[in-house]
Amino acid sequence: MIGIEGFLIPFLNLELIMYIAAGVFVGIYVGAIPGLSVTMAVSILISFTFSWDILPALAVMIGVFVGGVYGGSRSAILLNIPGAPAAVATAFDGFPLAKRGEAGIAMGISTTESVIGTFFGIAVLVVASPIVSSLALKVSPRDYVLLAIMGLLLVGSLSKGSMLKAMITAALGIIAGLVGMDPITGQPRLNFGFDGLLGGISFIVVMIGIFGLSEALMQLRHNVQPVKQNVDKVRPGWDVILKNLPLTIRCSLIGVVIGALPGTGGDIAALMAYDHAKRSVKNPSRPFGEGAIEGVIAPESANNAAIGGAFIPMMTLGIPGDAVTAVLIGGMVVHGLRPGPMLMKQQPEFFWTIVACLLISNIFLYIFGMTGIKLFSKIVEIPKAIITPIIIVLSIIGSYSISNSVTDIYWMIAFGILGYFFKTYDYPVAPMVLGLILSPIIDTNYRRAMALSHNNLGEFITGMFTNTISVVIILFIVVSLLSQSKYWEKIRSGFENKFK
Amino acid sequence: MSAKDKEMKQAAQSVQNPGELYFLLILFSVFALFFYEASKQNGLLQGELGGPGVIPQLMIGASLIMIVLLFLQFRKNHYKESYINDVIKTLFSKDLVAILGTVVLYALLLESLKFILTSSLFLFFSMALLDRKKFGHKLMISLATVAMIVLIFRYIFQVVLP
């Protein structure tokens, strides 16, 4: 392993360790506040650390990345308002746990699983970078469309009630994501002639409105009282960790693979992992959506494993795995380094230094994550008359901070009211967020795939069956659809009886 | 899907909430407007498979069909819509309307009165509206919250406040 001496550099430098610790601490609290994104924090740090040496600058940014992805789960569990898109799925079972007075254990599990997921991601980064990066390069626009379709199948998993209502909100999410300027032709699309809509509707603003403001309004309507939290036991026992280890590993694998695909990240990984947990766990601790710990384990291990995955194409190919690694590449270029195959060849010790920074960040993630739980759990016990207006102010700051525009605040309020109606009439809101995430992936990749197929539908479809990756994804989609049909149980029990 | 999940889905489908039909009608109108807008782009309606209008037309068209199917489901379940007064009473409690009103006012006044004053006023009046006790206490909490927000966001995180 050439350049492995770079691995020791952060461990032997107390200053670097302190920078990493500071980054993780700040990242957790940035991630916990809806509207303050890790991408934004890392972008600000690039200008902050412009005059620094490369290693301290990288150390802080990596710390913020690792802390921020985890931090989103805090507000997701305590307030049902995901601090980051990657924590959307954590709210499904994390918030019901908080409503039962078990916010402490929910956050303890989320911290532990995030740490395990990050370790898994780092391990894959070290061991399988060349294999995963060559696979990521082979994924074509058509495969992205198929992946997006696979993602849309999650709609069924994310909805407890009417499937039709879930599909309507998912479609609305996709449509909202298409408003603005068409990225391929530069033409206005779905903007009704208003120039103000040319910039599109920010996904974060919609998320804050749909989850933040609408949740505040629903709690007012139902006069929800604060729940006393049990924080005697926050650290999950070894029996819980070991019992759920197979699920953790599978979800971490999902996280790494999805994270390694350029343009996808922890948000999609977490939702897919949650869906996988729902399908594969036969006897969850509670029904999914009512406080199953497996519903926290799956997304939290996946979204943190996606961090390691996102570094794979970044380090080996110079292609960002997600928005944060895109900014990190910019940060490295500013400091005179260009990640990619040449850096891996000429300065391999850099790769190992980044691996070490990720490892140290993970250790601090556990320390800071576990120590703040008891204090954070108290947030849920604050009377609604006090906490609800504060949540609204934070939602407004979060919406404004995206592009320093008051228009985003109005959008947030509009989607908050829409979210209130959705929740009142049992339209699940999670599919809408899924639709927003998948919208650019579906649209851009479909059109690229059609262009590559010379706008010939026959060529587009037959091309799916001549490409190995496409065939594998199609198989997953078919199995996924079959597993929701009444015939699946018959087929499965038939197999089980045959092999008993 | 487990038997319990199926049961929950069926139960959800048979329950209607006051105003649901009106909401469905509003949704249909919104999607119809979007469809009209999407039809201006080159897409399926124009016979183009790779145009910018393909996905919007497909998604919006599918949504309109799904809304019609949902409406037919309501009819099958013999859903009867409530009077508009009952709908408003159910959906909008006094507290909710008051808070929504203050939120909208807050957003409108932010640019003219700036963040510190508007937020302090919003926090104090909202807290007082929701719990008409200990006004002095609530004033202290409002001012302390705004001070903390300015310290953390403006000076530590370097975020531009409204």
- Which residue has tokens 């909208």? B104
Q: Which chain B residues are within 8 Å of A394, Cβ to Cβ?
A: 149
State the smallest CA–CA distance between residue A347 and chain B in angstroms.
33
Chain A's closest residue to B90, CA to CA, is A221
State the smallest CA–CA distance between residue B72 and chain A in angstroms.
12
Q: B110 at the A interface (CB within 8 A)?
A: yes
CB contact under 8 A, B159 and A30: no
* Number of domains composing chain B: 2
CB contact under 8 A, A168 and B67: yes
How far is residue A324 from each of residues A62, A341, B159, measured CA to CA in Å? 10, 20, 18
Q: What is the predicted pLDDT for the residue at A101?
A: 85
Domain match, B110 and B70 both: no
State the smallest CA–CA distance between residue A206 and chain B in angstroms.
16
Q: Which chain B residues are within 8 Å of A401, Cβ to Cβ?
A: 159-160
| Nearest-angstrom CA–CA distance, A266 and A28 | 15
Q: B21 at the A interface (CB within 8 A)?
A: no
Confidence of residue B14 (pLDDT cuts 50, 70, 90): very low
CB contact under 8 A, A171 and B60: yes
Domain match, B82 and B111 both: no
Look at residue B123 and tell me if it is in a domain.
Answer: yes
**Cβ-based contacts under 8 A for chains A and B:** 171
- Which residue has tokens 């479909």? A446
State the smallest CA–CA distance between residue A126 and chain B in angstroms.
33
pTM comes to 0.78
Selected for mutation to probe chain B from A393, A401, A407, A450 (highest B CB count within 10 Å) is A393
Q: Is A179 left (phi over 0), alpha (psi -120 to 50) or beta?
A: beta
Look at residue B162 and tell me if it is in a domain.
Answer: no
Q: Which chain B residues are within 8 Å of A161, Cβ to Cβ?
A: 8-9, 12-13
Among candidates A164, A171, A192 on the partner chain, residue whose Cβ is nearest the Cβ of B37 = A192
Q: How many residues does chain B have?
A: 162
CB contact under 8 A, B66 and A406: no
Domain match, B77 and B36 both: yes
Q: B48 at the A interface (CB within 8 A)?
A: yes
Among candidates A48, A220, A394 on the partner chain, residue whose Cβ is nearest the Cβ of B99 = A220
Confidence of residue B9 (pLDDT cuts 50, 70, 90): low
Q: B88 at the A interface (CB within 8 A)?
A: no
**Is the per-residue pLDDT at B94 higher than 60?**
yes
State the smallest CA–CA distance between residue A193 and chain B in angstroms.
9
Q: Which chain A residues are within 8 Å of B127, Cβ to Cβ?
A: 385-386, 389
User: Alpha-carbon dihedral of residues A300, A114, A9, A26, nearest 10 degrees?
Assistant: 80
Look at residue B161 and tell me if it is in a domain.
Answer: no
Express each pLDDT in B122-132 by its tens digit. Answer: 999 999 988 88
- DSSP letters, chain B, are --HHHHHHHHHHHH---TTHHHHHHHHHHHHHHHHHHHTTSSSGGGT-SSSTTHHHHHHHHHHHHHHHHHHHHHHHTT--PPPHHHHHHHH--HHHHHHHHHHHHHHHHHHHH-HHHHHHHHHHHHHHHH--S-HHHHHHHHHHHHHHHIIIIIIIS-PPP-
Please provide the distance, in angstroms rounded to a whole number, between the alpha carbons at the two ends of chain A.
47
State the smallest CA–CA distance between residue B85 and chain A in angstroms.
17
Q: Which candidate, B162, B160, B121, places its Cα nearest to that of B142?
A: B121
pLDDT per position in chain A (500 positions), as tens? 677 788 888 888 899 999 999 999 988 988 887 766 777 777 777 766 777 788 888 899 899 999 988 998 988 898 888 888 888 899 999 999 988 888 889 999 999 999 999 999 999 998 887 777 677 777 888 888 888 887 777 776 666 667 888 889 999 999 999 999 898 888 889 988 888 888 888 877 888 888 778 888 887 776 666 667 666 778 888 888 999 999 999 999 999 988 888 777 888 899 889 989 988 898 899 999 899 999 999 999 999 999 999 888 888 878 777 778 877 887 788 777 888 777 777 788 888 899 999 999 999 999 999 887 877 777 767 787 888 888 888 888 888 877 788 888 899 899 999 999 998 898 888 788 888 888 888 899 899 999 988 888 888 888 888 888 888 888 878 877 776 666 666 666 666 566 55
Q: Report residue A310 CA to chain centroid gap.
A: 12
Domain match, B24 and B75 both: yes
Domain boundary among B69, B90, B111: B90
- Which residue has tokens 């009819």? B75
Domain match, B52 and B84 both: yes
Domain boundary among B67, B90, B113: B90
Q: B123 at the A interface (CB within 8 A)?
A: yes
What residue numbers bound the domain in which B55 lies?
3-90
Chain B's closest residue to A394, CA to CA, is B149
| Nearest-angstrom CA–CA distance, A180 and A173 | 14
Q: Report residue A24 CA to chain centroid gap.
A: 17
Q: B7 at the A interface (CB within 8 A)?
A: no
pLDDT averaged over chain B? 84
Q: What is the predicted pLDDT for the residue at A224?
A: 62
**Is the per-residue pLDDT at B15 higher than 70?**
no
Domain match, B96 and B106 both: yes
Q: What is the predicted pLDDT for the residue at B30?
A: 93
Within 8 A by CB and 6+ apart from A321, the residues are: A259, A260, A261, A262, A265, A306, A309, A310, A311, A312, A313, A314
Look at residue B21 and tell me if it is in a domain.
Answer: yes
Tokens of A337: 């380094």
State the smallest CA–CA distance between residue B9 and chain A in angstroms.
4
Q: What is the predicted pLDDT for the residue at A160?
A: 64
| Nearest-angstrom CA–CA distance, B70 and B87 | 20
Among candidates A41, A390, A460 on the partner chain, residue whose Cβ is nearest the Cβ of B145 = A390
Confidence of residue B111 (pLDDT cuts 50, 70, 90): confident
**Is the per-residue pLDDT at B7 higher than 60?**
no
Domain match, B106 and B49 both: no
Selected for mutation to probe chain B from A159, A160, A283, A396 (highest B CB count within 10 Å) is A396
Domain match, B96 and B150 both: yes
Selected for mutation to probe chain A from B2, B6, B25, B103 (highest A CB count within 10 Å) is B103
Tokens of A468: 């190995």
Q: Which chain A residues are within 8 Å of B17, Cβ to Cβ?
A: 424-426
Within 8 A by CB and 6+ apart from A376, the residues are: A74, A78, A103, A107
A27, burial (CB in 10 Å: exposed 0-12, middle 13-18, buried 19+): buried
CB contact under 8 A, B52 and A287: no
- Which residue has tokens 């078919």? A478
Domain match, B81 and B46 both: yes
Domain match, B12 and B72 both: yes
**Cβ atoms < 10 Å from Cβ of B76:** 10
Tokens of B8: 């929950």
| Nearest-angstrom CA–CA distance, A18 and A10 | 10
Amino acid sitting at position A375: L
Backbone angles phi, psi at A382, to 5 degrees: -70, 135
Within 8 A by CB and 6+ apart from A294, the residues are: A93, A244, A247, A277, A281, A284, A285, A288
User: Coil, strand or helix: which one is A189?
Assistant: strand
Cβ contact B73:A163 at 8 Å: no
User: Coil, strand or helix: which one is A412?
Assistant: helix
Domain boundary among B50, B65, B90: B90
**Cβ atoms < 10 Å from Cβ of A128:** 15
Domain match, B86 and B102 both: no
**Cβ atoms < 10 Å from Cβ of A474:** 17
Domain match, B78 and B23 both: yes
Q: Which chain A residues are within 8 Å of B63, Cβ to Cβ?
A: 167-168, 171-172, 175
Look at residue B41 and tell me if it is in a domain.
Answer: yes
